[in-house]
Amino acid sequence: MASSGFHIVSEGPVGYRYGSLEYAFELQSAFSKETSVGGVNLAKSYLRGQIADKEILDTIWKNFLHGRLTFLHWNKGEEMDPTVGTQGGTLLVRKIPAPNPTRVHVGDVVVLKDPEDSANYLVRRLAAIEGYEMGSNDANDESFVLEKDQCWVLADNNKLKPKEAYDSRTFGPVTMANIVGRALYCLRNAVDHGPVKNSHFSTVVDSPVLEVELDVDDMVKNHKA
């Protein structure tokens, strides 16, 4: 079990802070490929102005990429207040099938399997990734560096004690394979909802997904009051 006094001493390799650009380029490439759906060449039609921005986004996500990239997740508890709220909230979560430091970034709010109960899922903010040095305020604890595929997650509610927050200060480093998605949007109730604040890179990459797949009415219907 990790000491509650551990904190970040230094960041990992610079490459990981900029590696997410590769992910953004993957998204951009989807628009430039010679892709045809229903006999219509999407790239050429888009360039000619025959298809509007919203139409090209809808067509690519729903046909070219086959299926939704998001799912709804209900989160309860006060650990992520004020991001989610003490009464819980419904989250629109982007699926992350193969999480690594170029696809999830420090600052992202992620949904992950509870390292102590795989049947349970937690919502926490990614605070550090492999290569980051972790130190402690306790002189009896030695500093350590997060190993490959390890990450450190924290609750947003800084009013809670470490054990109450139930994050890496309690259960230690988590394998990135535990991460299943990134929260894009939070609905606390029918009149209180909005985008989740993530890292800049993730916000840019997720914006077209949010535009196409966000359905507030559907979130309200599935919300647990």
Q: CA–CA distance from 10 to each of 35, 128, 133, 223 (Å)? A: 44, 10, 5, 40
| Catalytic hit among 94, 103, 124, 188 | 124
213 as an active site residue: the answer is: no
| Catalytic hit among 78, 79, 130, 213 | 79
Half-sphere exposure of 181 (CA within 13 A, CB side): 19
Pair of tokens at residue 158: 């800084």
3-state secondary structure the chain: CCCCCEEEEECCCHHHHHCCHHHHHHHHHHHHCCCEECCEEHHHHHHCCCCCHHHHHHHHHHHHCCCCCEEEEEECCCCCCCCCCCCCEEEEEEECCCCCCCCCCCCCEEEEEECCEEEEEEEEEEEEECCCEEEECCCCCCCEECCCCEEEEECCCCCCCHHHHCCHHHHCCEEHHHEEEEEEEEEEECCEEEECCCCHHHHHHHHHHHHHHCCHHHHHHHCCC
68 as an active site residue: the answer is: no
Region of 85 please: left (phi>0), alpha (psi -120 to 50) or beta. left
Catalogue the active-site residues.
79, 124
